[in-house]
Structure 1
């Protein structure tokens, strides 16, 4: 034993602990710096998304999306759907009538969606008298306005790309925020789970910021992924194409070049995510199975009767054919508020000439990703009931608080009169930097816009900001 001790002197534990402490501090500062810079870009976008989200939750759950909820006095007999359709045609002879929704309750109006001079309008019809009792332009409602901002910032594809980058960088905020939150320096888990409300000033804000950020992190991650799945690059290019329902599963029906997505109205997504890129069938062939029995007229009346016969027993809608090769489409889904849960999603296409059913797809036919998105979007929009509405409202308020408190903490930390950002210091000689670059390259493959943005920022930091004196000072 004595020989072994002589040949192997004891380790310098103090030096080891000092090295470990220094490494931990470097990682902490690096995480804080990334958290700070990601927040600079993300905060304005997250504020916009949270505020517009609150507006949409309100009109989606408490009011109505487009102000179309009009009540009527119930009578003994309703007029036929074709009679109501004729009234709308006479009132708007130059309009294209795209959709009909039977009265969802005995004291509610029937709804027609028309396009007149490029403007989408909802026409409310008394189902007992076939009189028009109200109209509203969808594009002018608060819900549509908030939805357009929420999806594209009112600047089209550029806005979509900026939001996609912001959502991806928020994932970085979550990861770095959780690392900063993790208990250290002798603190136990219980000490960081409950904020110390006795703190004052910036420390009080930090306690709330850290605790609220931790508790909503999982929900925020879920909202980001479900939102990114709708974004143009990650969702539209990478995820949605291989997750969509394959129209080839229908029995060799002729397919259009148009997809289900044409039934969406502008900024508002009304077609289930898993069907948006699926091609529509065409009318005019002999294929399909019996839908409308032979001898019956194929019109809006028979479509309503068929819908009831094949299981559409609650709220549903019928898209009318708008071209010689178009089809009748009967649908009900949670994304439109027709069903309480997405498991009740159902879409059926009928040939406008033969009345045969050309294709059917329900929730059980969706891919795993499409099912996940159907549930995710319903939760994202607050469609699953009052508990969902309350949860989403609280979540939006929490996001607003995180954004505002983050700005206030930065402002309170800045020295008076500082003419620079006062960013967290960059650690010198950061170890494992090659691993960080490798992770960012992987991130570029998974989330292209986010990865490219991170690599660009890293290149600017190393090649420009750290080498030009006045830029280096401004971003310190």
Structure 2
């Protein structure tokens, strides 16, 4: 009797689910661990930098003096950002730079003494951020992570297809695992049910993280430009290389502005300190805006350009920005609600992704999803180990050829258009599998390819 067509589809989906898992499991484990650590960035940084809070009593120095102290601590640097302290008793954080490198300097607000300094990219949570998104390997690492993220989406979607109840009359094995039917069935149920409960949250975390990826982020930026929605500055990282290039451009522009200011007043500025009158006036105006902390104040980068004031709140929907003239006059304010709907959507997505939108509850929900992903990966390894054949990869064997399906073709094309690296890697995987399958019968059997049907026996 021939195998039903539904079984052939089940086997085909199961096979690609297996391949997706083979690629994704190491990356999902890595991203879950680093992402779980980054979720608690506010608590971790609060503990790390506690020694620089509440250090002062008495009147504070003028911002120009504090900024000059920070610039002097890093010879050859210029002011990049002045961070408004949340309390007058806290040390002031000042970012100074040389080219693409930012150095964060903590300055005592009363004495002007430098308490601590560290390159911005060497801070613990910045390292975790690059481990999570780029594996500390720049654009190539970002491409690997993005490819794995795309295939994880495929793994989750195919997993839901495999989970879908087929004539099941009970909830056991569908919504919760069966505990008294043996180990094999328990691990199968545990894997399927875990995948069900975390799939929606996992798909959201993956989709909301894609704007940070190099290829997809650039793809998205081009869509913003083509659709005319890129009026404002992109409020999420476009990759370490792109960010470094932006910092280098801004550093060069700030140096040119400060040199011009120094030449205009006949001064020799060994450390390129900011224009004194401007910084004090701008900081006074920025404080009156009461933006959500932390708030960065950045010098102008072109003649006649204003100073930039930006909230860097962890919860991105609270991020507002303003432009202030050198004399302290407020030019304009842009609220988060004023941005294009596409940027607002990404802002909410990133805030939820980072666990910042709803505080501790958001962090714990995300952590539960990440723990579910870890359990999903570990249970998949157990399932593979228990059913692996001797001398074989363990991929589900193919059966009779599938009939052509325009629906499947359309779905693959939609996914490939939405995730270009998925389309490229899928094409490469199909070609590699076909090429390897023709190399030798032994390799074909090891990969679980369908063998030629034997000749029918006589009556």
Task: Give the equivalent residue in structure 1 for 2:444.
Answer: 472
Task: Give the equivalent residue in structure 2 for 1:301.
Answer: 280
239-248 or 153-162: which moved more? Answer: 239-248
Task: Give the equivalent residue in structure 2 for 1:342.
Answer: 316
Query: Helix, strand or coil: the match of 2:321?
Result: strand
Q: Are the aligned partners of 1:194 and 1:211 in contact in 2 as well (CA < 8 Å)?
A: yes
State how far apart, in whole Å, the 1-side matches of 2:181 and 2:88 are: 57
Question: 1:391: how far off?
Answer: 1.9
| 1:350-389 pair list within 5 angstroms | 350-352=324-326, 360-384=333-357, 385-389=359-363
Task: Give the equivalent residue in structure 2 for 1:151.
Answer: 133
Question: 1:196: how far off?
Answer: 2.1
239-248 or 84-93: which moved more? Answer: 239-248
Query: Helix, strand or coil: the match of 1:206?
Result: helix
Task: Give the equivalent residue in structure 2 for 1:182.
Answer: 164
Task: Give the equivalent residue in structure 2 for 1:329.
Answer: 308
Whether 1:394 and 2:373 are equivalent positions in the alignment is: no
Task: Give the equivalent residue in structure 2 for 1:290.
Answer: none
- Distance verdict in 2 for CA 1:431–1:245, change over 3 Å: closer
Q: Are the aligned partners of 1:440 and 1:454 in contact in 2 as well (CA < 8 Å)?
A: no
Q: How many matched pairs?
A: 421
Task: Give the equivalent residue in structure 1 for 2:385.
Answer: 411
Query: Helix, strand or coil: the match of 2:4?
Result: helix
Bigger relative CO (Cα 8 Å, ≥ 6 apart): 2
Pick the aligned partner of 1:64 from 27, 42, 45.
45
Q: Are the aligned partners of 2:81 and 2:298 in contact in 1 as well (CA < 8 Å)?
A: yes
Task: Give the equivalent residue in structure 2 for 1:452.
Answer: 424
- Distance verdict in 2 for CA 1:462–1:266, change over 3 Å: closer
Question: 1:43: how far off?
Answer: 1.1
Give per-residue Cα distances to partners, 1:301-332, cap 9 Å, x unaligned: 21122113344365311123467676521000
Q: Are the aligned partners of 1:42 and 1:166 in contact in 2 as well (CA < 8 Å)?
A: yes
Give per-residue Cα distances to partners, 1:260-295, cap 9 Å, x unaligned: 68998948989xxxxxxxxx99999xxxxxxxxxxx
State how far apart, in whole Å, the 2-side matches of 1:63 and 1:366 are: 31
- Distance verdict in 2 for CA 1:355–1:85, change over 3 Å: same
State how far apart, in whole Å, the 1-side matches of 2:445 and 2:46 are: 49
State how far apart, in whole Å, the 2-side matches of 1:248 and 1:170 are: 29
460-469 or 369-378: which moved more? Answer: 460-469
Question: 1:145: how far off?
Answer: 1.9
Query: Helix, strand or coil: the match of 2:398?
Result: coil
Whether 1:164 and 2:146 are equivalent positions in the alignment is: yes
TM-score by length of 1: 0.78
- Distance verdict in 2 for CA 1:322–1:92, change over 3 Å: farther
Q: Give unpaired runs (5+ residues) of structure 1.
A: 1-17, 251-258, 271-279, 285-295
Q: Are the aligned partners of 2:176 and 2:193 in contact in 1 as well (CA < 8 Å)?
A: yes
State how far apart, in whole Å, the 2-side matches of 1:380 and 1:221 are: 11
- Distance verdict in 2 for CA 1:263–1:408, change over 3 Å: closer
Question: 1:413: how far off?
Answer: 0.9
TM-score by length of 2: 0.81
| 1:46-445 pair list within 5 angstroms | 46-58=28-40, 60-64=41-45, 67-69=48-50, 70-116=52-98, 119-189=101-171, 191-238=173-220, 241-242=223-224, 266=240, 298-312=277-291, 314-321=293-300, 327-334=306-313, 337=314, 341-352=315-326, 360-384=333-357, 385-415=359-389, 418-445=390-417
Query: Helix, strand or coil: the match of 2:45?
Result: coil
RMSD: 3.5
Question: 1:175: how far off?
Answer: 1.0
Query: Helix, strand or coil: the match of 2:111?
Result: coil
Give per-residue Cα distances to partners, 1:445-464, cap 9 Å, x unaligned: 22221112223323333454
Give per-residue Cα distances to partners, 1:162-200, cap 9 Å, x unaligned: 222111111111111111111124344565112223354
76-85 or 214-223: which moved more? Answer: 76-85
Question: 1:430: how far off?
Answer: 1.3
Query: Helix, strand or coil: the match of 1:306?
Result: helix
Task: Give the equivalent residue in structure 2 for 1:255.
Answer: none
Question: 1:239: how far off?
Answer: 5.0
State how far apart, in whole Å, the 1-side matches of 2:24 and 2:62 are: 53
State how far apart, in whole Å, the 2-side matches of 1:359 and 1:264 are: 26
Query: Helix, strand or coil: the match of 1:421?
Result: coil
Q: Are the aligned partners of 1:98 and 1:322 in contact in 2 as well (CA < 8 Å)?
A: no
